[in-house]
Structure 1
Amino acid sequence: MNTNIEELRKKYIKNPPDGMTSKDVREMSDEALLDMDYFLNEDDLFDDEAGVEGFYIF
């Protein structure tokens, strides 16, 4: 699993998220890096109606 974390770290060092620098990413703990990756790649964290698409009139 350590190699996956290092790959993520390299990915975000090359292209840090808005508001962060490469130095910020280098200094992050492994857990913080994994959390950041999860939240950046989650589609809609607060979607209460998972699986429901479109607009319906009954």
Structure 2
Amino acid sequence: MNSKFLEELRQRYMKNPPEGMTSKLVKNMTDSDLLDMHYFLTEDEDLDGNDSEDGFYIF
């Protein structure tokens, strides 16, 4: 993973930590944990509510 991207993410979340976290916790996170956190915080941002995702669905 690009170290510049990871550092930008770390700085972003240190300045504005997610609810229940502190800047210190974000600072000491592993790169893998930081990426996981970012993924789960942003996974639905690409959906605008009108489009369905491609894939297999069981109804």
Shorter-chain TM band: 0.7 to 0.9
Correspondence for 1:31: 32
- Give the counterpart letter for 2:8 in structure 1: E
Aligned residues: 47
Percent identity reads: 55
- Give the counterpart letter for 1:35 in structure 2: D
Post-superposition, which runs of at least 4 consecutive aligned residues in structure 1 deviate over 3 A? none
TM-score, normalised to structure 2's length?
0.74
- Give the counterpart letter for 2:22 in structure 1: T
Q: Provide structure 2 residue ranges, at least 5 long, that are not aligned to the other structure.
A: 46-50, 54-59
Structure 1 vs Structure 2 CA RMSD: 1.8
Q: Provide structure 1 residue ranges, at least 5 long, that are not aligned to the other structure.
A: 45-49, 53-58
Structure with greater Cα Rg = 1
